Structure 1
């Protein structure tokens, strides 16, 4: 992947990606609220697998080059983790809604920072640990344990964030030997295979209008990944990553206007702390880089 240094274009692409991913979350919530989550994720992965196969076939070396890896066990584990994380996240949307789920899920960059030491052997200094602590306080404010209003289902997006953090760390580890194209290929193929083995047992007939939404879900999934790829081609990750938090804002707008969700003051305060801690962590990584 050849990278340029057009920060403005990179920021624009990142914001566009967050809009697409928020739309994807909204469609996922609608479909998973009507049909089984496993079936919805399975159909989404079928389209994703077709996309990565088409992408690999057009690349130099074709499918054989994309599938070539010296760490198949790690690549399979990555694919399983992401497929499981998507199932957990989509199920969380149906139980808690978009706002509550995304407000907790955005702590995953802090989990990546905390786990980068034991998993990747990276040094985690006291400033980063302080930011992680602030982010944990933000999550606790959102969840409100011990306040008489704690919903045990609120741990679902926390589990999703933890799974996604491990997936991100394993992706960084895999990048030491495999290319981005190889990791992308294995992610789509492994996810499609495992979700087919599970999802076919939960097949439900879908009404015609929901096939339209299913098709749109598949398109937004591929478009979101394409926008991210182009974004990181345009600019360094440290320059554009802070704008990924726009995802929370778009999800809140969708949740309020389409799904009649409410925005609790605790969610605003807690999410603000999590975002602030995440931005500080990104700033520290950029300075050290």
Structure 2
């Protein structure tokens, strides 16, 4: 049964959970290497999806069956790279600036949906893309002494996640949602085991609770997001995904001593406004 109001509430809760997850990943990555941190997260997440699959009414094998396994392998690799780059960016430029640039990701999805999904680049979408790119330029400030190469990292990460999202929409055309949820977790765990185990560092006793909290919050975040899309239409709840920047800003300021400059605030406002406009125009066109 669809419920837009409950879906919105769950989306906001998911964004809070994702923000806590990102804060914990920054804390851990300041002490331990990124592949190790990502590997631990994937191990716990893989166990979680295996349990979910085993409890599916249609049975384990039927639940994970997919005719697009090569696409899921590609999605898994894209997601692993995206997560690793984001965590690396957190340790260099901080949570706030990383997420300010990453906010351009939904507009990248719009841009990639044309060539990959055959969707038309309408005038509202084109306007949103142009305004969003201006917002990113305001944040990055290329050609000034403020610009840093590291500020490009979240833009690269956003591209990988946008491509992952478009491929997810592609698989959704021919199969159920669960395989799209299951395979990236399991394949990602295998990939990160190969990469992360050789780089494993001894974890201090006081950091083990934070490691498990990080993995648990990651599972919770994905569960909340899954429930959100079960309860409400994506177009109705997607604008509330931008609440993550509010939560990230608070965590960045109060937990890590970061600051939100006026220039970054103006830039991210342009990016978010263009993203909401693109979603609103699509929803209006769909209702019309």
Q: Distance in 1 between matches of 2:172 and 2:231?
A: 20
TM-score by length of structure 2 reads 0.97
Q: Distance in 2 between matches of 1:169 and 1:235?
A: 20
Alpha-carbon deviation of 1:147? 1.9
Residue by residue, what CA displacement relative to the aligned partner does 1:170-192 show, whole Å, maximum 9, x if unpaired?
00011122211111110111100
Alpha-carbon deviation of 1:67? 2.7
Residue by residue, what CA displacement relative to the aligned partner does 1:112-147 show, whole Å, maximum 9, x if unpaired?
001100111111112211110000000000000112
| Structure 2 stretches lacking a partner, 5+ long | none
Alpha-carbon deviation of 1:242? 0.6
Aligned to 1:47: 44
Residue by residue, what CA displacement relative to the aligned partner does 1:203-231 show, whole Å, maximum 9, x if unpaired?
00001111100101111111111111111
TM-score by length of structure 1 reads 0.97
RMSD: 0.9
Q: Distance in 1 between matches of 2:257 and 2:220?
A: 27
Q: Distance in 2 between matches of 1:231 and 1:63?
A: 23
Alpha-carbon deviation of 1:263? 0.9
Q: Does 1:89 align with 2:86?
A: yes
Q: Does 1:254 align with 2:254?
A: no
| Structure 1 stretches lacking a partner, 5+ long | none
Identify which of 276, 281, 286 aligns with 1:284: 281
SS of corresponding position for 1:148: coil
Alpha-carbon deviation of 1:65? 1.3
Q: Does 1:58 align with 2:51?
A: no
Alpha-carbon deviation of 1:163? 0.3
| Number of aligned residues | 286
SS of corresponding position for 2:100: helix
Q: Distance in 1 between matches of 2:108 and 2:94?
A: 22
Identify which of 136, 140, 149 aligns with 2:137: 140
Runs of 4+ aligned structure 1 residues displaced above 4 Å come to none
Counterparts of 1:131-170 in structure 2, within 5 Å, are 131-170=128-167
Q: Does 1:192 align with 2:172?
A: no
Residue by residue, what CA displacement relative to the aligned partner does 1:150-180 show, whole Å, maximum 9, x if unpaired?
0111000000000000000000011122211
Aligned to 2:272: 275
Counterparts of 1:221-240 in structure 2, within 5 Å, are 221-240=218-237
SS of corresponding position for 1:59: coil
SS of corresponding position for 2:202: coil
Q: Distance in 1 between matches of 2:60 and 2:77?
A: 21
Q: Distance in 2 between matches of 1:182 and 1:8?
A: 27
